């Protein structure tokens, strides 16, 4: 896992080349909505891109996770399916249903059944390098490929290319400092239940962090967003006292946070610190929201790696997922 995290910027650079070289024919019919689908480490890129494009694309952009797809899918839908392995059963089922709806489909995969399906039915696809046992560590390939798909279908401009190049340079230059910060934060998370709070705009980023703690550190974590949690969860900060005392609140910040949300977070700081411990503040760095996402992805990936070391656990295996898939295979 360490080498995979270290290779994040190389992944971004290679993904840019793949995205610029791919030949995606623009849809024959006008696109009225975008639906992205994918599970786990392959699918979180869709959530991140959905957040990045919020308010910037004049048509609805949504994410669907699971076997089924919404009723609105039609020939006017740009349907982007993400599966690193190409064998994710939920995503394959969704693609088959989108084909029946005659949606404009783009597959992002390294191979497997999805690539076979794309070739057999002349679906458009972006093929990323195969061979990694950890789809969650291929976030650079999946995320940039999603942006490339939107670019080639005239839904976003080319700004993401320069912003990605800027991030590669920035992250490479600051790698040692990022790892050092991650290691310090990880020590504070040992034996704690991480509770990650942020502005709703960063929700997908918080979920990515949670997922990495789950899979790499084999540790539970909780996520919620401001201002929504101010209307419910905040009242729950009373019991169970033993769990609250073992919790560690983490605030994720970007300079795209709503100013009223920033005020809410500061007011709530007193409530959380009274019942747990001092909040860990993680502030995104970068000139654009995309650059800040790349920074947070890289930093929190390192945090999850160092928490795994604190837990004295190998970050690579995902035994519970393997067990589940093996048991499901017996039923088919």
CB atoms within 10 A of CB 86: 24
Say which of 203, 215, 218, 291 is annotated catalytic. 215
Could you report the per-residue pLDDT of 80-117, keeping only the tens digit for each?
999 999 999 999 999 999 999 999 999 999 999 999 99
Instruction: Indicate if the pLDDT at residue 271 is higher than 80.
Output: yes
Q: What's the confidence (pLDDT) of residue 27?
A: 65
Tokens 């709070």 found at:
197
Tokens 């977070």 found at:
265
Say which of 17, 187, 256, 325 is annotated catalytic. 325
75 vs 242: CA distance, rounded Å: 53
Q: Where are the domains of the chain?
A: 2-164, 177-310
Does the domain at 177-310 match CATH 3.40.50.300? Answer given as: no
**Mean pLDDT of the residues in the chain:** 95
Instruction: Indicate if the pLDDT at residue 28 is higher than 60.
Output: no
Q: Which two tokens stand for residue 46?
A: 């869709």
Say which of 176, 231, 274, 330 is annotated catalytic. 231
Q: What's the confidence (pLDDT) of residue 310?
A: 97
Mean pLDDT, residues 111-138 taken together: 92
Task: Determine contact, residues 180/9, Cβ cutoff 8 Å.
Answer: no
Angle at 288 between CA 22 and CA 80, to 5 degrees: 35
Does the domain at 2-164 match CATH 3.10.110.10? Answer given as: no
pLDDT band at 26 (very low <50, low <70, confident <90, very high): low
Mean pLDDT, residues 60-73 taken together: 96
- 201-216 burial code (b ≥16 CB/10 A, e <16): bbbbbbbbbbbbbbbb
Q: What's the confidence (pLDDT) of residue 25?
A: 65
Mean pLDDT, residues 186-208 taken together: 97
325 a catalytic residue: yes
Instruction: Indicate if the pLDDT at residue 29 is higher than 90.
Output: no
16-25, 41-50, 177-186 — which is least confidently predicted? 16-25
Instruction: Indicate if the pLDDT at residue 30 is higher than 70.
Output: yes
Mean pLDDT, residues 246-263 taken together: 97
Same fold, 2-164 and 177-310: yes
Tell me the CA distances in angstroms from 135 to 48, 107, 192, one per residue in order.
16, 15, 26
pLDDT band at 1 (very low <50, low <70, confident <90, very high): confident
């Amino acid at each position: 896992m360490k080498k995979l995290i270290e290779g994040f910027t190389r992944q971004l650079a290679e993904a840019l080349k793949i995205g610029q070289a791919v030949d995606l024919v623009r849809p024959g019919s006008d696109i009225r909505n975008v639906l992205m689908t994918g599970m786990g480490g392959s699918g979180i890129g869709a959530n991140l891109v959905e957040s990045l494009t919020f308010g910037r694309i004049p048509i609805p952009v949504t994410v669907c996770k699971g076997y089924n797809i919404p009723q609105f899918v039609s020939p006017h839908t740009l349907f982007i399916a993400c599966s690193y392995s190409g064998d994710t059963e939920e995503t394959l089922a969704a693609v088959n249903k989108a084909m029946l709806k005659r949606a404009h489909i783009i597959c992002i995969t390294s191979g497997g059944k999805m690539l076979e399906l794309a070739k057999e039915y002349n679906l458009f696809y972006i093929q990323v390098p195969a061979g990694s046992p950890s789809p969650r560590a291929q976030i650079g390939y999946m995320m940039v490929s999603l942006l490339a798909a939107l670019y080639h279908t005239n839904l976003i401009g080319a700004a993401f290319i320069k912003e990605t190049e800027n991030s590669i340079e920035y992250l490479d230059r600051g790698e040692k400092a990022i790892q050092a910060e991650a290691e310090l934060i990880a020590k504070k998370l040992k034996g704690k239940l991480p509770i990650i709070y942020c502005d709703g705009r960063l929700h997908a980023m918080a979920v990515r962090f949670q997922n990495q703690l789950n899979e790499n550190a084999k540790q539970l974590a909780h996520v919620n967003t401001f201002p929504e949690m101010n209307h419910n969860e905040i009242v729950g900060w009373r019991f169970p006292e033993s769990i609250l005392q073992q919790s560690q609140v983490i605030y994720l910040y970007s300079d795209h946070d709503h100013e009223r949300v920033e005020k809410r977070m500061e007011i709530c700081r007193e409530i959380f610190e009274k019942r747990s411990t001092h909040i860990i503040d993680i502030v995104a760095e970068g000139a654009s929201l995309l650059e800040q996402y790349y920074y947070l992805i890289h930093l929190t990936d390192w945090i999850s790696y160092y928490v795994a070391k604190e837990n004295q656990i190998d970050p690579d295996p995902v035994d519970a997922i393997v067990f589940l898939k093996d048991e499901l295979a017996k039923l088919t």
